[in-house]
Amino acid sequence: MEIYKKITALEYPLDVNIILRKKKSIKKYLLLQDDLIEKNIVILGGSTTSEVKNILELFLLNNGIKANFYESEYNKFYEDALFGNDILDKFNPDIFYIHTSNQNIIKYPGYKESESEIATLLSNEMQRYKSIWSSLSKFDCAIIQNNFDYTLDRSLGNLDSSDIHGKTYFINQLNNEFSKSSREIKNLYINDINYLSSYFGLKNWFDKSLWYQAKYALSLSAIPELAFSISKIINSILGKTKKCLVLDLDNTCWGGVIGDDGLGGIHIGTETAIAETFTSFQKYAKELKQRGITLAACSKNDFKNAKEGFEHPESILKFDDFTSFKANWNPKHQSIIEIAKEINIGIDSLIFIDDNPVERDIVFSQVPSVAVPDIGADVIHFIEHIDRNGYFEPISLLADDINRGQYYEDNKKRAVEQLTFKSYDEFLVSLDMMADIKSFSSVYLDRIAQLTNKTNQFNLTTKRYTAGEIENIAYRDDYIKFYGKLTDKYGDNGLIAITIGRVEEKQCHIDLWLMSCRVLKRDMEFAMLDELVKQCKEKGVSEIVGYYFKSAKNSMVSNLYEKFGFELTETNSEDTIWKLDITNYENKNKFIGIRND
Amino acid sequence: MTREKVFNGVQGIFRDIFDEDDLMISDTTSSDEIEDWDSLNHINLVSAIEKEFEIRFSLGELMTLKDVGAMVDLMLEKIK
């Protein structure tokens, strides 16, 4: 259990003065945490980046990431990206951040230029960035790219945004092109400084004096907001975002107390201003739910009353929208632990929203890994605490995420059935499970990379891969690499298991063995092992070497290789190495039908 | 605001920016004496001072600040 507390100055609402003044002591404090993940981050700047780096470092540390930075020389982003240099080549980057702004636009349209001349200007400007992105693609890592902020001064006034000669118009077109590129280029993510600067207020965002003195393309007080935004994208790339929104009910989902006021007395709908604010909060939660975030309710209430609240005709959320629904009189931290168990996700994937500060305190102090934003008591501010903190920041809308809510609901039905069978084997048979176990293919590379970054419990080596690395492995013959997808009579569990083995002569070394916890106890791991052995035999391998590297979260698989029949050959503190002679291996999977390539 | 008050405020800012709780500055303290006091940290110092004392320095003024004493004197003029 982590004992350190997150720095609230680094969460919404940011305390910019504290961050800027105390950054050195904040950094010292955050470096005391255990289990920091190290990442190599390259900052390619079109302006001064020194303070951007310092502050970004804090936000990443606050999320458990220790960054090693490479910073390009001042305004050498283009040269470094295209021609590289010895230091950069040896740096082994995980993530690139390209910090450019409207100051880096080479040439705006002149007033006499024709439409086609302006189109050429646009395409020249785009070509610079496209060549940067394509040149960086050899590193196979995520590229975070700023789009453009507006210029503070507009000599054309309002016309600047509508006339083709306007700077604002030109910037809008560039931003559209950037968005388009990010949809086409894998691993390219846009850091939307156009939104950020407008959120922050353009006149506070750009500081002319600071630009002329020190070539910062944004004011010092805007840097924390920028760094916060970058850190949210990085969190998302690394799969560190939250998965489940836990909601209190009375005075959170609706106004009033359902137990006292009754269904007719609570505030929800469009009749009054108060009712409307609760409705808009429900709409926001519903949007999250529709893109794959799981909802849970945690309320001190009579179950029947609580459920009835969602039968209000104007209620946007319905009882069925909640995957887990705890309405009882237990302490809320207990209910929250049960919610995590029921949904089968890590407790650190939860965020808890409650208007009552006492309940927030209890949850925060008893289960510190749950995110409990200090939202105050007024529903009008609840959304911004969820939204601005980027708890659910997505890097893409994967079909799997959108279907995930469905999966959890299917899972509830599975749990009910399990109770009615005489033996567990009988239950497994009844599930009619069917697995696709196939070699990596291009459509799944993103999902595979995502899983390697967010699977912590059923993960033997906890090795993290970028989408680029996964793609490389997919094409290499000296790797055995396959994924497993599992369906059953209740639905599709999606892609949930990955195995990567490196073949060296007669041995296969298991670099990665992971499975999503949503398919625990389904014997899927046996089906995966059968496949590994089969492919090993095809490659003339006679022995498989398995590695268990102990992490803070993977103790559940410390004995997996033993269960598989491997022999322990080496123990190094809590890490272990195992071997299996596959000459006389017999298939272990009995319950899952298999489809191969 | 007295000179002493301004001076103490500046000292607090120096301590935060350079993260040395017992840092003692004097009128003659200059960037030669504090290792981390480079041009970028100078910007951070000035910006923190501007925030705390609600004043603004102009570009030309910043170039001429040679030591803490000069800085405090200029601030006193502005705070008036």
Q: How many domains does chain A have?
A: 3
Strands in A172-243 per DSSP E:
188-191
Q: Which residue has the tokens 């646009």?
A: A122
Q: Which of A178, A203, A237 is the last residue of a domain?
A: A237
pLDDT score recorded for residue A431:
83
Instruction: Provide the CATH number for the domain around residue A58.
Output: 3.40.50.1110
**Whether residue A357 has a cis bond before it, omega within 30° of 0:** no
Q: Which of A190, A207, A237 is the last residue of a domain?
A: A237
A584 — pLDDT class (breaks 50, 70, 90):
very high
* Residue A276, in any domain of the structure: yes
Within this chain, do residues A289 and A201 fall inside the same structural domain, yes or no? no
Q: Which of A204, A220, A237 is the last residue of a domain?
A: A237
Instruction: Provide the CATH number for the domain around residue A291.
Output: 3.40.50.1000
pLDDT score recorded for residue A417:
66
pLDDT score recorded for residue A180:
96
Distance in angstroms (rounded) separating the CA atoms of residues A335 and A358? 15
More confident residue, A287 or A424: A287
- Residue B76 is classified by DSSP as H
pLDDT tens-digit profile, chain B (80 residues) = 899 999 999 999 999 999 999 999 999 999 889 988 888 888 899 999 999 999 998 877 877 778 999 999 999 999 98
List, for residues A535-551, the tens digit of each pLDDT value.
999 999 999 999 999 98
Distance in angstroms (rounded) separating the CA atoms of residues A506 and A305? 65
Residues in contact with B61: Cβ distance below 8 Å, sequence separation at least 6, in sequence order: B74
The pTM for the full model equals: 0.74
Examine the pLDDT at A176 and tell me if it is beyond 80. yes
Neighbour tally for A429: CB within 10 Å = 13
Give the DSSP H or E segment for A284. helix A273-290
Nearest CB neighbour to A20, from listed B19, B44, B58: B44
Examine the pLDDT at A416 and tell me if it is beyond 90. no
Within this chain, do residues A370 and A294 fall inside the same structural domain, yes or no? yes
* CA trace torsion A79, A85, A89, A93 (10° rounding): -40
Instruction: Provide the CATH number for the domain around residue A441.
Output: 3.40.630.30
Residues in contact with A145: Cβ distance below 8 Å, sequence separation at least 6, in sequence order: A98, A100, A129, A133, A178, A182, A188, A189, A190, A191
* Pairing verdict, β A479-488 and A433-439: antiparallel
- Chain-wide mean pLDDT for chain A? 92
* Residue A496, in any domain of the structure: yes
Residues in contact with A170: Cβ distance below 8 Å, sequence separation at least 6, in sequence order: A105, A108, A109, A118, A121, A122
Average pLDDT over residues A174-192: 95
Average pLDDT over residues A147-156: 96
A2 — pLDDT class (breaks 50, 70, 90):
very low
Examine the pLDDT at A413 and tell me if it is beyond 80. no
Distance in angstroms (rounded) separating the CA atoms of residues A228 and A234? 10
Residues of A in contact with B58 (CB under 8 A): 209
Residues of A in contact with B48 (CB under 8 A): 17, 20-21
Residues of B in contact with A50 (CB under 8 A): 40
Q: Are A418 and A307 in contact (CB under 8 A)?
A: no
List, for residues A375-406, the tens digit of each pLDDT value.
999 999 999 999 999 999 998 887 666 666 66
Closest CA–CA distance from residue A367 to any residue of chain B (Å): 32
State the DSSP string of A329-341.
Answer: SS-HHHHHHHHHH
Within this chain, do residues A331 and A361 fall inside the same structural domain, yes or no? yes
Examine the pLDDT at A1 and tell me if it is beyond 60. no
Residue A277: name the closest of A308, A307, A258, A251 by CA: A251
Within this chain, do residues A556 and A443 fall inside the same structural domain, yes or no? yes
Residue A248: name the closest of A306, A167, A165 by CA: A306
* Residue A335, in any domain of the structure: yes
* Residue A397, in any domain of the structure: no
Closest CA–CA distance from residue A6 to any residue of chain B (Å): 20
Q: Which domain holds residue A266?
A: 244-388
Within this chain, do residues A261 and A282 fall inside the same structural domain, yes or no? yes
CB–CB of B44 and A51 under 8 A? yes
Which architecture characterizes domain B3-79 according to CATH? Answer: Orthogonal Bundle (1.10)
Spans of all domains in chain B: 3-79
